[in-house]
Structure 1
Amino acid sequence: MSSPTAEPPAPSPEPSPEGQPTALEPYDAVLVLSFGGPEAEDEVMPFLRRVTGGRGIPDERLAEVAEHYYARGGRSPINDQTRALRDAIRAELRRRGFSTPVLLGNRNSEPFLADVLRGAQESGAQRVLVVTTSAYSSYSSCRQYREDIAEALEQLTDDGRTLQVDKIRQYATHPSFARVNARLVTDAVREIGQEDDDKLRVVFVTHSIPTAMDDTSGPGDGEGNLYEHQHDEIAHVILDEAGITLDRNLSGALVYCSRSGRPEQPWLEPDINDHLRQLADSGVTDVVVAPIGFVSDHMEVVHDLDTEAAETAAEVGLQMKRVPTVGTDAEFVMGLVDLVEERAAEARGERVDALAWPGEAMPSTCAPGCCPNLRIAKPAACGRD
């Protein structure tokens, strides 16, 4: 499959009569950076090998995961959803009068990040702003993206090309992300129609990570565990917004899916399937499953939740309602574009009041030692280290 050509950046127009630029100065393009996924069966194993490169995971184990993709024709849902998000961001920028091009690049599948950045530079771009499809703070959800940006820029440097890349801040604590999740959970609770609060539970799900990665998530001089803490804060805000009594929603309502890695390595728990069985044993009959750790319905959602967790719920007699991810919800997209404008203003040297709810706003430029790579020291872009 050939790499697509990057959308050429539009020339910077003259300021509007009101004095406002119609491009996101100083940025020549916005790039939506996603994890990526296979588009056909013959792409599945190469994709999984790229994702797990250097970790010594045998093909026999990867073949087990590959079955999740083969069951869906070898095609991950993430690519269509990321394209839809790119288009929604572009439409919102146009609605606000910005003509800046919006590109799409992937970390692990075509169009690869380095190819898209190379195409943008060839079209005249000098500075690009990245929007990642990962909201939280940890190595795998932030710094690894930054490492891939640094690696792509190194490839461009080797070609004699110069390009500056920045990114918006991690947005798990941005009000739009929390508000949309709260609305979606509230709608699901109403739809399930359980009037007895003792029989209903809301379960918040995110991707499990090694406990050592969570322990070091956040700024290098902080206390760590920011990944888990951000999820917990959002879960409490959502329950409060949905009008669900906190002491009736069992402690441990934050659960995990998609555990991988060596069996002896500790990962965040409990697993959602174990938690569903415990709920059924305690007399709960209805459960609302909210995948707050995910931006779109990619493989970890459609397989781990819509297939495996749904089967577990049916097995133990639970009525399960799965909440949609934020996807291309208009309020979420507007929040992302707010963050794009915020970062552009910051780059222009303007004063920025970064909104956050719940918790604190993450910086757009990461501090030294933030969410470190525990396996190998690698350079990371968009930071001060």
Structure 2
Amino acid sequence: MTTPYDAILLVSFGGPEQEADVLPFMENVTAGRGIPRERLEEVSQHYFQFGGRSPINDQNRALKAALEELLAAEGPDLPVFFGNRNWHPLLPDTLREMREAGVRRALCFVTSAYSSYSGCRQYREDLAAARAQVGDGAPELDKLRVYYNHPGFVEPQVSIIEDALATLPEDVRDTAHLVFTTHSIPRTMSRHCDYEAQHYETCRLVADAFPGRPWQLVFNSRSGPEHVPWLEPDVNDHLEDLAGRGVRAVVVVPIGFISDHMEVIYDLDVEAAGTAQRLGLAFTRAATVGTDARFVRGIRDLILERTDGATARALGTRGPNWDVCPVDCCFTPGQDARPTVAQAEPRRRPAATT
């Protein structure tokens, strides 16, 4: 295979790996947002319950290894690097490592399947800022498209839910509701991106495999001032509503996340599970796609779209998303415009394929 790219860059959010990392990590995440220190200390307690270590970096290292193995076996045979937005390995350090390794141009896979400012545009801004910080010789970077409706992301969810259903007591299994959940974002951000529409499409595609089973998209991990509207309903409020209507069991599906980081293991496995226990709801939490072989192969598909001109694959009717984002994509009025990587004038999406 011939390709204009020298490497793949796995880009993620980052997380602390020991207790001493937690507050500095929180300060990186919230820089410039005016979050009071007492609020940072409060949220830090979530991490301290797990020894100060988020699982996100370990899971990304496992994903990196799985992708490297697949690419080495089936091509394109490109090295895979790993860099984070908010904690080590930080993007500027990774780009320096790539420059020293002779990388001149890389494709970036971001661990966010959906479009939004925080899930797409901000990553592109941070990649541009990292290139500027590294300076001369920093690799050129092109971001791969979002993949919320790619078969490699959607199809594993079905078997994951089937496995979760099997853990429920038999007398409630057939009537259990599917509770799809994702990270809430401010409504002002949601109005300027396809975040909600993409999530509903993913949920619908997955739920089609479970005809007749009730489902709902809900949200978790809301933060920020109380007077600022965020997407609702909250997962805990939804569980209250279901229990009030006589529902006896739920499968909570973290459809908005590809790995079990803190918004999953605390907000769902601790808080939502606790709410369900208090309400007498049988509760099980579905796994995330993680290093599922179908998901890793889906990442390779995205790479082949850019290296070999392979057909873009997507389920449903919305079709594959932009491969190069429009200049105004996911931009929220009132934010300072920052340079991004991989900008283009708005144009049509590729034709839908399955």
- Regarding TM over 0.5, the answer is yes
Matched with 2:137 is 161
Deviation at 1:330, TM superposition (A): 0.5
Distance in 1 (alpha carbons) for counterparts of 2:164 and 2:341 = 39
Compared CA separation, residues 106 and 273, structure 1 to 2 (3 A): same
- Asked whether 1:51 is paired with 2:29, we answer yes
Deviation at 1:156, TM superposition (A): 2.3
Matched with 2:89 is 111
Deviation at 1:45, TM superposition (A): 0.6
- Asked whether 1:138 is paired with 2:116, we answer yes
Distance in 2 (alpha carbons) for counterparts of 1:66 and 1:193 = 35
Q: Which runs of 5+ in 1 are unaligned?
A: 1-19, 218-225
CA contact (8 A) 1:131 1:168 kept: yes
Deviation track 1:247-280 (CA, whole Å, cap 9, x = no partner) reads xx16xx1000000011100000000001101111
- Asked whether 1:380 is paired with 2:340, we answer yes
Compared CA separation, residues 108 and 260, structure 1 to 2 (3 A): same
Deviation at 1:97, TM superposition (A): 4.2
Distance in 1 (alpha carbons) for counterparts of 2:167 and 2:20 = 40
Deviates more, 1:299-308 or 1:169-178: 169-178
Matches within 5 A, 1:90-101: 90-101=68-79
Matched with 1:185 is 161
CA contact (8 A) 2:92 2:131 kept: yes
Deviation track 1:3-60 (CA, whole Å, cap 9, x = no partner) reads xxxxxxxxxxxxxxxxx44xxx211111111100111111111110110111000100
Matched with 2:150 is 174
Deviation at 1:196, TM superposition (A): 6.1
- Asked whether 1:354 is paired with 2:312, we answer yes
Deviates more, 1:336-345 or 1:258-267: 336-345
CA contact (8 A) 2:103 2:139 kept: yes
Matched with 2:273 is 310
Distance in 2 (alpha carbons) for counterparts of 1:355 and 1:193 = 37
Matched with 1:366 is 325
CA contact (8 A) 1:185 1:238 kept: no
Matched with 1:229 is 197
Matched with 2:352 is none
Deviation at 1:175, TM superposition (A): 1.3
Distance in 2 (alpha carbons) for counterparts of 1:166 and 1:267 = 31
Matched with 2:350 is none
Distance in 2 (alpha carbons) for counterparts of 1:155 and 1:114 = 7
Distance in 2 (alpha carbons) for counterparts of 1:195 and 1:311 = 21
Which residue type is aligned with residue 73 of structure 2? R
- Asked whether 1:339 is paired with 2:302, we answer yes
Distance in 1 (alpha carbons) for counterparts of 2:327 and 2:42 = 38
Higher Cα radius of gyration: 1
SS of the equivalent of 1:176 reads: helix
- Asked whether 1:240 is paired with 2:204, we answer no
Distance in 1 (alpha carbons) for counterparts of 2:227 and 2:7 = 44
Matched with 1:272 is 235
Of 37, 48, 62 in structure 1, the residue corresponding to residue 40 of structure 2 is 62
Count of equivalent residues: 343
Deviation track 1:165-202 (CA, whole Å, cap 9, x = no partner) reads 11211111111111111221133224425566884211
Matches within 5 A, 1:11-22: 20-21=1-2
Matched with 1:4 is none
Distance in 2 (alpha carbons) for counterparts of 1:105 and 1:212 = 29
Distance in 2 (alpha carbons) for counterparts of 1:381 and 1:38 = 27
CA contact (8 A) 1:199 1:283 kept: no
Deviation track 1:50-85 (CA, whole Å, cap 9, x = no partner) reads 101110001000101000011111111101001001
Of 179, 194, 198 in structure 2, the residue corresponding to residue 203 of structure 1 is 179
Deviation track 1:86-107 (CA, whole Å, cap 9, x = no partner) reads 1111011112044311111011
Deviates more, 1:128-137 or 1:184-193: 184-193
Distance in 2 (alpha carbons) for counterparts of 1:40 and 1:76 = 8
CA contact (8 A) 2:192 2:332 kept: no
SS of the equivalent of 1:171 reads: coil
Deviation at 1:339, TM superposition (A): 0.7
CA contact (8 A) 1:194 1:200 kept: no
- Asked whether 1:123 is paired with 2:101, we answer yes
CA contact (8 A) 1:280 1:318 kept: yes
- TM-score if structure 2 supplies the norm length? 0.93
CA contact (8 A) 2:165 2:173 kept: no
Distance in 1 (alpha carbons) for counterparts of 2:204 and 2:256 = 14
Deviation track 1:313-360 (CA, whole Å, cap 9, x = no partner) reads 000000101000000001010001111111212xxxx4x421111322
Deviation track 1:189-230 (CA, whole Å, cap 9, x = no partner) reads 24425566884211000000001111101xxxxxxxx11111
Distance in 2 (alpha carbons) for counterparts of 1:96 and 1:199 = 43
Deviation at 1:161, TM superposition (A): 2.4
Q: Which runs of 5+ in 2 are unaligned?
A: 346-354
CA contact (8 A) 2:253 2:286 kept: yes
Distance in 2 (alpha carbons) for counterparts of 1:200 and 1:370 = 38
CA contact (8 A) 2:172 2:248 kept: no
- TM-score if structure 1 supplies the norm length? 0.86
Distance in 2 (alpha carbons) for counterparts of 1:81 and 1:196 = 32
RMSD of aligned residue pairs (Cα, Å): 1.6
SS of the equivalent of 2:325 reads: coil
